[in-house]
Chain A
Amino acid sequence: MGDTAPNSYKTLPDEAGRFGIHGGRFVAETLMPLILEVEKAYITTKSDPGFETELLYYQKHYIGRPSPLYFAPRLTKHFDGAKLYLKRDELNHTGAHKINNVLGQALLAKRMGKTKIIAETGAGQHGVATATACALFNLDCEVFMGAEDVRRQKPNVDRMRLLGAKVHPVTSGTSTLKDAMNEALRYWVANPETHFYIIGTVAGPHPYPEMVRDFQSVIGKETKEQIKQAEGRLPDALIACIGGGSNAMGLFHPFLDDESVAIYGVEAAGHGIETGEHAASLTGGEPGILHGNRTYLLQTKEGQIKDAHSISAGLDYPGIGPEHAWLHDIGRVNYVSATDEEALDMFHLCSRLEGIIPALEPSHALAFASKFLPSLDKDKIVILNMCGRGDKDLEAVLPLLEARSKL
């Protein structure tokens, strides 16, 4: 079945950038000409075989793709159910899936003749990936990061500075990722001629959700080939963590029309959904409009955006990509959640059983796997996106593990 089949889940967004009621282009007039220009350039570029060749070159020789699909024997034994495979995107250059998208957008920016790049970052992974691509392609790089995150994620701030990026600590609003994104958009509006904004997740105004998904879909495409080679068939289920949802969209999208594959997205439940201190926009939010798109948002009953909470700075965002919102509405993907505490347990367990230190983000996916896999027969196959490595989290996690007598 091709991508344009009428009963396909892969035909969206429409021309207005909609996924069902979600998505769209809710931006100020000051920004509108800019995103229309990006859209036009993206449409031209993605059908250019020269662009694909260039992207493939960097994916292979710079990022280190394809990333392995690894059968995790000890976690499989421990969970005592389905077979668990890990898609090892934490082995990418810069240590997470973020670079897949950044290289694509940076190459697009170059083709558009832009010389300066803007990015927002929460945990700093997208900021580091962007600073890396800018060093590689000789582009100026300005990264906007909540002042609170600048403090919490110092190693990544240092990496960005070493790579030549200018890091702007954002103190407006609540000084978190959502404010960093506001500030990056404001900066772009004031510098429209020279700058290109590389959004780090499958959110924002059209065409970003589509474009970022396309660049991340390399994850799912590789996975499909690799599992067929390893097992001779498609998996029974996919699992990925979700903040904005780019790693998940990248894994899920190539499988959306394979109805036999169950798909699970894991949001961050923070201290627990019932406490109100979480980052689970689908589970605990309502549709609304922020950062250029309609999607599920954590907000008050008056429509003011609330702060998200998660131990993982990468999931700490009050919204979610509009395509996830749509997949949730139509029921193609099941969205579940895992708490800070459950993620911490998995951070420790995966390190000890597989010798893989997972980032806190995929630790949430592992937390769902720990409950889900035991319920499945042993001949079932589940693939989890190991979308980032945990080195960046050690400073935050080690004292917590020590306090729980795990070290």
Chain B
Amino acid sequence: MSNRISQCFAHAKADNRAVLGIFVSAGDPSAESSAAILDELVENGADMIELGMPFSDPMADGPAIQAASLRAIKKGMTLAGTLDIAKSFRARHPDTPLVLMGYYNPIYIYGKDAFITDALAAGVDGLIIVDLPPEEDSELCDDARMAGLSFIRLVTPTTLGHRLPVVLEKAGGFIYYVAIAGITGTKSAAKETINAAFTRIREETSLPAVTGFGIRTAEQAAEIAHISDGVVVGSAMVSIIEQACAEESLDTEKLVNSVGTYCRSLSEAMKRS
């Protein structure tokens, strides 16, 4: 369960480096290639996987992840399909933390209890449900925690004041610091801002904290890896898939290689730091 998450951060800390988390949407560009992409990511230094549960109306996401969601839905990806991808991933990678990220409606329709049971059976470690703030904890968070899934909280620049303890109260796994006031994959935050945010977060919690939203280059990843316990790259990775899909015919092998190369560049840059 969330042991995998804490062990992952503990190992990285022992190696004096930050955890590299990679986000991709399940089923983008297809269920089969998803599995190959995930393997390639782990092969090339991804310490943790955030697997997107595609939703038609991803309110907090920028154009790249919106498009990824729609590509996956168009190819028939469902929540059940996402859990299948998770399950087969877990069989191949017994130690890599796997977190599901998405929006509440597909889970609500799937059924809360069935979802918790099936996610645990698939070897999922944690959940990031973007549109379930602490005010709606009775919807899913309380039962998910009880069952042993980490409920990972987003902390944003606007959360850092008196609201931070509210957000941290039931947080599990790690803290996901949203480095910009905005949606995924748009602008990037200044290093000083992130520094100040982490000082504040570390005052309030002993959970590891990662930074995401707007990290695109190996240089940014390396820089943030000095401050943060982890770095999450999503939109930039998803954009590589988007480019491959825009070509006349999709060359899956080539796509998987590009994903691996990019992941390796991030991982190497972070190691040097």
Contact = CB atoms under 8 A, between A and B. Distances in A.
A302 B102 CA distance: 14
Given A192-B181, A289-B104, A33 B109 contact: no
A26 B109 contact: no
Interface residues of A, number: 36
Contacts of A172: 63, 66
B109 A302 contact: yes
| Chain B interface bracket (under 10, 10 to 19, 20 to 34, 35 or more) | 35 or more
B136 interface: yes
Interface of B: 54-60, 62-63, 66, 70, 73, 78-80, 103-110, 130-133, 135-136, 153-156, 158-159, 161, 163, 167, 178, 180-183, 186
Nearest to B103: A289
A289 B135 CA distance: 15
A190 B186 contact: yes
A28 B158 contact: no
B86 to A, nearest CB: 16
Given A182-B59, A192-B181, A29 B109 contact: no
A189 B104 CA distance: 19
A291 B105 CA distance: 11
A185 interface: yes
Given A173-B70, A303-B79, A28 B131 contact: yes
A122 to B, nearest CB: 15
A292 B131 CA distance: 8
Given A173-B70, A190-B180, A303-B106, 10 more contacts: A26-B104, A26-B136, A30-B60, A172-B63, A178-B57, A288-B109, A289-B108, A290-B57, A299-B109, A303-B110
Interface in A112-166: none
Nearest to B106: A303
B135 A25 contact: yes
A26 B132 contact: yes
6 contacts: A32-B163, A33-B158, A192-B181, A299-B109, A302-B80, A303-B106
Interface in A17-62: 24-30, 32-34
A111 interface: no
A173 B56 CA distance: 7
Contacts of A185: 59
A236 B208 CA distance: 63
A33 B163 CA distance: 8
Contacts of A26: 104, 131-133, 136
A371 interface: no
